[in-house]
Structure 1
Amino acid sequence: MIKAVAALLLAGVSLVLCGRAFEPGAPVKLYANKVGPFSNPSETYQYYDLPFCRPEGGLEHKPETLGEVVDGNRLIMTPYDLSFRKDKADAKLCTKTLTKSEVMQFRKAVSDDFYFQMYYDNLPIWGFIGKLEKEVSASGGESKLKHYVFTHVHYDIAYNGNRIVEINVSTDPAQMLDVSEDVVTGDVPVEATFTYSVQWRETDIPYEKRMDKYRRYQFLPQHLEIHWFSIINSCVTVLLLTGFLATILMRVLKNDFIKYTRDDDVLDETEESGWKNIHGEVFRFPPSKNLFCAFVGSGFQLLALSIFIFGLACVGVFYPYNRGGLYTALIVLYALTAGIAGYVAGSYYKQMDGRAWVRNILLTSVTFCGPLFVVFCINNTVAISYRSTAALPFGTIVIILLIWALITIPLTIAGGIVGKNTRTEFKATCRTNKYPREIPELPWYRHAVPQMIMAGFLPFSAIYIELYYIFASMWGHKVYTIYSILFIVFIILLIVTAFITVALTYFQLAVEDHRWWWRSFLCGGSTGFFIYGYCLYYYFFRSDMSGTMQSAFFFLYNGTVCLAFFLMLGTVGWRSSLSFVRHIYSAIKSD
């Protein structure tokens, strides 16, 4: 099924790359997508929520995919005549008589720095609705805010043979409508004439490279070079620190093995101390093992989902401005990988002698989907109150719920049943004592929270630089295209998380604290808390976002992303610690 998804997405890529061929004078539709405040990328509205010139035959919506709707796209055909290789000079679009409410709509849009987005032959273009200026009186007195709406739009289109390669849009500052409060007063209607012009030019840019322009706009060459240098510097630093810790840990373990494995009759058993002394406790199953196994199962699913997404990204599926491609892949692949969560959770729960396996499957099904659904309900309600395109239509919600009910839940149940019926036993290298051993009193820095802070800092430092570019893409108008860098950083994140968790697990066992199961999971997943801390920093110090809707979308959806990191990295940390514990206790003699 995953191959089918990849083939479907690649078919979409090939459709764009092959494109359409047009004859001279052939009509080419220009679709308006959305408008909204430039600083609030989630707060988007339909283009014709503003009183622009509408098509005579009524609004014609372009059919959209699931991912496009989730992304807030609402493509509507515009009345602009941009026929292939047909120039126009000062063509009249329409003359409108704006009422007071329509003038106020334009005025508010200009005040909020509204931009518009359109698509022409699947090529995106942007422009601003108008501009806000401060006008100082001739006497040098108090300045006034002037609101201007652009009434003329110029389209510059490049073609190669019979295919469209590039399009740019610009506005004419000489043709603006003043909708300032001091100009438009009372209920007197305002007449506005909207015009446009089109100029075609031939280019030698091949059609297959027409999307390269958008890649170049995201990172200038000098910025890309700095980007690579910063990532390499960060990764080298983290790997050096990891290497030093690994060397120290291996030397300490070597000394421990020598001490614990020598056959010395003079050595009295009462002199033993350290991690060997708790060999009868380390494989005691954790408390709340139902929840623990649900977390681990969800973590494995999210890890598999991440790998599949990176695979699609590296083969070029998510090209710049592939509307909704990433969201479609996330929804479909999450549903298809649900069986992994069910199988892993059910298998480990069975190995831990769990009995309430039905509860385990249900808990696994809602471990991540539950919080995500609550966040979606809140954000969608806020978006509906704003009448934003970010609010999903009822039909789309039904489709997503059907995917969850007919694919995700059944696959989770099937995976859980297979995992439950798989005859595997937990591989414990030491026999567990009947009664738990008393844990010695430990200093404050050996407790869970300080350990989580130490565990999360090093992996976070490995991805800190890359986070800015990711946030600028997710919560800005940049498009992330350098997936090779991101994949390298992701692999380093997993390696560093695994090692730092193993190191902290060893230090915990060395002081005879055998409660490492949940601790290793929390330490591995603690990077998610650091990422959410970066969310706060980015919102208040690196962005201009504001408003209830944008804040709700930013903090709540980022919270679910950080939850996904917590589950995924926590699973990596725990599984690495489990392998480490099995290894060291299998290398010593214990009664």
Structure 2
Amino acid sequence: MAYDVRPRYSLLIYVCSCILTAVTNAFYIPGYSIKSYKQDENIPLLVNKIYSDNTQLQYAYFDLPFVCPPTGNRRHDSSWASGQSLSLNLGEVLRGDRIKNSDFEINMSQDVECAYLCDRVVDGYSIQWAQQLIEDGYVTEWILDNLPGATSFVTIDRKRKYYAAGFKLGYKDYDMVTGKPAYYLNNHFTMVVRWRKAPGSAGEHGGKVVTGFEVYTKSIDKDQRNMTGCPADVSEEHSPLPLYILPNSTDLTEQYPDSSYIPQVPTDLSQVSMTIPYTYSVYFREEHDVEWANRWDLYFSDQEESTTTHWLAIVNSVIISSVLGAVCMIIWVRTTSGDTKGRGDGILEDAKLRPRKRSEKKTYGLLEKEGNVIVDDDLSDEEGMEDVTGWKLLHADVFRPPPYAGLLAPLIGSGMQLVCMTAGLLSLSCLGVLNPSWRGGFITVGIVLFFFAGGFSGYFSARIYKTFGGQNYRKNTLMTALLFPGLLFSLIFFLNLFTWAQASSTALPFTTLLALIFLWLLVQLPLVHLGSYYGFYRSKPYAHPTRTSAVPRQIPSENTTWYSRNQFVLSLLAGLIPFAVLFIELLFVFKTLYLDKSSYYYVFGFLSIITFLLAITIGETVIITLYIQLCAESYHWWWTSFLTGGSSAVWIFVYMTWYYWTKLHIDGFVSSLLFFSYGGLACLVYGLATGTIGFLVGYAFVRRIYGGVKVD
């Protein structure tokens, strides 16, 4: 038998390209145009939001009642007014960004020792909210020349510096006298802008580019400022600005003039007030060691130690997939070359289709009459019937349509849509097109790929539905187009009700929801219909190598193990193997997403390799699982292949729950609801994609061992 070796070379080329991409640490394209500034040219400082590792709720910076509000002034050399919102892409809106121009005056190469911004008068409710935000560890995000304001750190040996995006809103301490917690708000910002000469002709004409943006915060009490609103010397030590609420009455302050005693909170917080002064400093420092194209490297340098973890994950995946591959090879040899006895596996290939006379007697109850043709399964003892056992007895039932076939086909279609989206995202990320400098680009491109992959969803769903013998083309098309996207949109809308109630920037604006609905109904739905039409009317159903009998064969209940009798338990246990492939990489992913939100996940080269090995492992696991089930003479393998491929999502959700209770410090009902809801949704997306891979591999395996027919 001749085999086509071209797919092997394609596979080898793909693996080599993935390894090469991983070695280059998933390089990225930092931008398509370099923005240079001339001497004294204004550099807009944009404010975005605050976020915390301890909660899922984010808030727009200008929505905070204790920060300086925008004045609405427009500088003479700027087209943006203070407080004006920037146009955001869909991904930025979905991730909770609310970027606006600020009143900070920053001009290239102009150092500012201290500049007064405003005095903000706040009431007791605002002070309480500020205390709660500081308690939750909220971090502020500002943006200068597309770089997030960073907190600078150095390694223990002081040989390397790295950045963590964002800076603390304030800090918590304890009063030395009373022992009670005290909260201090950072109200002075020292900004260090690092620059170098612009490359090319722009640099020859005096142009400069920004290579770093650091923010150092300080809390300075309002009593230590001069007439200009600034302290006499910013670099000196100052008493911090405490956040506490004093009643209007001066009795307590007169009674304890020299005490740090903080009175009890009054009942009417709207009747109390506090003044918070804000100032800032700006310093420009020339940087010779960092090129503009590498200015994002400092945000990633603290993660270099994790490279060993990624390689360990790859080695772990290779070992698991290799062991499973050896088992699959044994199964393949047994099913294609015969049993160890030498006869059993060749029986099906020798079965003939011949006309049968009515006088001929049916012996084993396995004969099928279709018109004038009868499948000849009458094998006498002399013909080796004693060797026909296990999966070889199922050739007349193995391609019988599964129960709930009308649900399985749309799920496979949605899974193919997600597989196409994932492949596109990983490819673009490895090529560097999707990177942190394109804020929200990963989510935006993912949504676009998802909607435009609706054609693949409709095609595969319709063709599989036709293979199952389905006739209601319109019903299948509507289920494919509405089932998963409808569930996705309904969950997002439900969660939005809670985030709206919290006035969080995590909540999607109503216009964004309308835009998603329009994309769903005007882009994806027509593409699903187009793909379904082509798959149902223009394509033939997948051909099966054996005929299906009219009467289902009874599945024996004796001499079968407990795991082969229960396909759900078998699939769930098999899902532990793909989970073992992902486990090590999940440690890094979860740390980036939940423990250190100021970091960026950038190792898409490693992730691509892990994903490729995961797909191989899922295929091998499905083959072994189906072989066990078929040997138990059970032909209900359709759902088993799908559930086995996607069952590792259950273990990921279990691991996520363990991570929530042991590693995270998320407080509040809404934050916990968002964590588990979005985490469960991510597991569902993963399960659909991997379940589809498992189904396709299982389908190809069953067709091959029952006839050697190549998958269409």
TM-score (norm 2): 0.77
**Is the partner of 1:228 in helix, strand or coil?**
helix
- Superposed, 1:467-486 pairs within 5 Å as 467-475=586-594, 476-477=596-597, 478-486=599-607
Which deviates more from structure 2 when the two are superposed, residues 185-194 or residues 196-205?
A: 185-194
**Matching residue of 1:392:** 508
**Is 1:160 aligned to 2:184, yes or no?**
no
**Matching residue of 1:256:** 339
**Is 1:450 aligned to 2:569, yes or no?**
yes
CA distance in 1 between counterparts of 2:633 and 2:583 reads 34
Contact 2:435 2:442 in 1 (8 A): no
Which of 268, 271, 278 matches 1:194? 278
Instruction: Describe the shift of the 1:299–1:129 C-alpha distance in structure 2 as closer, same or farther (beyond 3 A).
Output: same
**Matching residue of 1:6:** none
CA distance in 2 between counterparts of 1:183 and 1:200 reads 41
Contact 1:368 1:564 in 2 (8 A): no
**Is the partner of 1:583 in helix, strand or coil?**
helix
Instruction: Describe the shift of the 1:506–1:327 C-alpha distance in structure 2 as closer, same or farther (beyond 3 A).
Output: same
Contact 2:401 2:469 in 1 (8 A): no
CA distance in 2 between counterparts of 1:90 and 1:306 reads 49
Instruction: Describe the shift of the 1:521–1:199 C-alpha distance in structure 2 as closer, same or farther (beyond 3 A).
Output: same
**Is 1:222 aligned to 2:262, yes or no?**
no
Give a deviation string over 1:429-465, Cα, whole Å, max 9, x none: 1111110000011432211232112210111100111
Contact 2:343 2:387 in 1 (8 A): no
- Structure 2 stretches of 5 or more lacking a match? 1-27, 73-81, 150-165, 198-207, 220-237, 246-260, 351-379
**Is 1:237 aligned to 2:319, yes or no?**
yes
Instruction: Describe the shift of the 1:560–1:96 C-alpha distance in structure 2 as closer, same or farther (beyond 3 A).
Output: closer
Contact 1:43 1:550 in 2 (8 A): no
CA distance in 1 between counterparts of 2:553 and 2:474 reads 32
Instruction: Describe the shift of the 1:267–1:14 C-alpha distance in structure 2 as closer, same or farther (beyond 3 A).
Output: closer
Residue 270 of structure 1 deviates from its aligned partner by: 5.7
CA distance in 2 between counterparts of 1:321 and 1:108 reads 31
Residue 47 of structure 1 deviates from its aligned partner by: 3.6
**Is the partner of 2:614 in helix, strand or coil?**
helix
**Matching residue of 2:388:** 272
**Is the partner of 1:586 in helix, strand or coil?**
coil
Residue 42 of structure 1 deviates from its aligned partner by: 4.2
**Is the partner of 1:532 in helix, strand or coil?**
helix
Matching residue's letter, 1:428: H
Which of 488, 493, 496 matches 2:609? 488
Residue 500 of structure 1 deviates from its aligned partner by: 0.8
**Matching residue of 2:657:** 536
**Is 1:559 aligned to 2:677, yes or no?**
no
CA distance in 1 between counterparts of 2:61 and 2:286 reads 33
CA distance in 2 between counterparts of 1:586 and 1:515 reads 18
Residue 81 of structure 1 deviates from its aligned partner by: 0.9
Residue 14 of structure 1 deviates from its aligned partner by: 6.7
Instruction: Describe the shift of the 1:346–1:236 C-alpha distance in structure 2 as closer, same or farther (beyond 3 A).
Output: closer
**Matching residue of 1:370:** 486
**Is the partner of 1:556 in helix, strand or coil?**
helix
Which deviates more from structure 2 when the two are superposed, residues 449-458 or residues 277-286?
A: 449-458
**Is the partner of 1:153 in helix, strand or coil?**
strand
- Superposed, 1:16-415 pairs within 5 Å as 16-57=31-72, 59-125=83-149, 126-137=166-177, 143-161=179-197, 162-173=208-219, 174=238, 176-181=240-245, 183=262, 187-204=271-288, 205-217=290-302, 219=303, 221-224=304-307, 226-253=308-335, 254-256=337-339, 258-260=342-344, 261=346, 266-269=382-385, 272-415=388-531
Which deviates more from structure 2 when the two are superposed, residues 228-237 or residues 118-127?
A: 228-237
**Is the partner of 2:382 in helix, strand or coil?**
coil
**Matching residue of 1:3:** none
**Is the partner of 2:339 in helix, strand or coil?**
helix
**Matching residue of 2:619:** 498
CA distance in 1 between counterparts of 2:693 and 2:587 reads 24
- Superposed, 1:514-533 pairs within 5 Å as 514-533=635-654
Matching residue's letter, 1:429: P
CA distance in 1 between counterparts of 2:329 and 2:462 reads 37
Residue 368 of structure 1 deviates from its aligned partner by: 1.7
Which deviates more from structure 2 when the two are superposed, residues 230-239 or residues 403-412?
A: 230-239
- Superposed, 1:407-446 pairs within 5 Å as 407-441=523-557, 442-446=560-564
CA distance in 1 between counterparts of 2:521 and 2:389 reads 53
CA distance in 1 between counterparts of 2:181 and 2:456 reads 59
CA distance in 1 between counterparts of 2:323 and 2:387 reads 34
Give a deviation string over 1:121-151, Cα, whole Å, max 9, x none: 10001111111101232xxxx5111111112
Q: Which has the larger radius of gyration?
A: 2
Which deviates more from structure 2 when the two are superposed, residues 319-328 or residues 378-387?
A: 319-328
**Is the partner of 1:368 in helix, strand or coil?**
helix
Residue 107 of structure 1 deviates from its aligned partner by: 2.2
Matching residue's letter, 2:388: E
Which deviates more from structure 2 when the two are superposed, residues 115-124 or residues 555-564?
A: 555-564
CA distance in 1 between counterparts of 2:189 and 2:181 reads 23
**Matching residue of 1:8:** none
CA distance in 1 between counterparts of 2:513 and 2:539 reads 39
Contact 1:151 1:175 in 2 (8 A): no
Give a deviation string over 1:493-520, Cα, whole Å, max 9, x none: 1111011111111111112111111111
Matching residue's letter, 1:165: T
Contact 1:16 1:122 in 2 (8 A): no
**Is the partner of 1:193 in helix, strand or coil?**
strand
Instruction: Describe the shift of the 1:584–1:97 C-alpha distance in structure 2 as closer, same or farther (beyond 3 A).
Output: closer
Which deviates more from structure 2 when the two are superposed, residues 260-269 or residues 458-467?
A: 260-269
CA distance in 2 between counterparts of 1:468 and 1:371 reads 28
Give a deviation string over 1:323-362, Cα, whole Å, max 9, x none: 2111101111111000100011111212222111111001
Residue 16 of structure 1 deviates from its aligned partner by: 3.3
Residue 240 of structure 1 deviates from its aligned partner by: 3.3
**Matching residue of 1:9:** none
Which deviates more from structure 2 when the two are superposed, residues 321-330 or residues 119-128?
A: 321-330
**Is the partner of 1:381 in helix, strand or coil?**
helix
Which deviates more from structure 2 when the two are superposed, residues 95-104 or residues 504-513?
A: 95-104
Root mean square deviation of aligned Cα: 2.1
CA distance in 2 between counterparts of 1:488 and 1:15 reads 23
Contact 2:37 2:108 in 1 (8 A): yes
Residue 175 of structure 1 deviates from its aligned partner by: 5.7
Residue 410 of structure 1 deviates from its aligned partner by: 0.5
More helix by share: 1
- Superposed, 1:505-516 pairs within 5 Å as 505-516=626-637
- Structure 1 stretches of 5 or more lacking a match? 1-12
Instruction: Describe the shift of the 1:367–1:455 C-alpha distance in structure 2 as closer, same or farther (beyond 3 A).
Output: farther
Residue 317 of structure 1 deviates from its aligned partner by: 1.9
**Matching residue of 2:19:** none
Residue 156 of structure 1 deviates from its aligned partner by: 0.7
**Is the partner of 1:158 in helix, strand or coil?**
strand
Matching residue's letter, 2:316: S
CA distance in 1 between counterparts of 2:644 and 2:707 reads 24
Residue 544 of structure 1 deviates from its aligned partner by: 1.8
**Is the partner of 2:506 in helix, strand or coil?**
coil
Which deviates more from structure 2 when the two are superposed, residues 236-245 or residues 477-486?
A: 236-245
CA distance in 2 between counterparts of 1:188 and 1:386 reads 24
Residue 15 of structure 1 deviates from its aligned partner by: 8.2
CA distance in 2 between counterparts of 1:278 and 1:189 reads 81
Contact 1:46 1:388 in 2 (8 A): no
Contact 2:321 2:616 in 1 (8 A): no
Which deviates more from structure 2 when the two are superposed, residues 324-333 or residues 258-267?
A: 258-267
Contact 1:321 1:479 in 2 (8 A): no
**Is the partner of 2:343 in helix, strand or coil?**
helix
Instruction: Describe the shift of the 1:283–1:467 C-alpha distance in structure 2 as closer, same or farther (beyond 3 A).
Output: same
CA distance in 2 between counterparts of 1:512 and 1:411 reads 40
